[in-house]
Amino acid sequence: MVILIPVLIVSVSCTSTEKIIEDSTYREVLISMIPSLPEVPSLPKLEWIYKDGLYSLDEHNVDLLVDYGENTLPNFRWELEQYRRKLDAVVSGLR
């Protein structure tokens, strides 16, 4: 009886040959994980003043422009880097 159990286990495990069916759901899941591209921030509407042949901005409009350059654009760049990292992970999974 003791010898019969290992022989039975070996014979059953060796004869099971299942065909592996390629399932496309893995690829579909990875493709569904592709993040959406971040939206490009629009330039703030500025009210230009024309005086003495020169264009200028008042303090409020300068603050809007500075905020765009110092906060909005770096945030967009960070979002793009995160997008690229996520996209690279998905593409490497598809290979």
pTM of the full structure: 0.63
CB 41 within 8 A of CB 73: yes
pLDDT tens-digit map of 11-55: 555 555 666 566 668 778 888 888 889 999 999 999 999 999 999
Write down the pLDDT at residue 76. 97
Q: Residue type for 85, please?
A: R
* Segments of the chain assigned E as strands: 48-51, 54-57
Q: Residue type for 84, please?
A: R
Query: Binning pLDDT at 50, 70 and 90, where does residue 92 land?
Result: confident
Write down the pLDDT at residue 83. 94
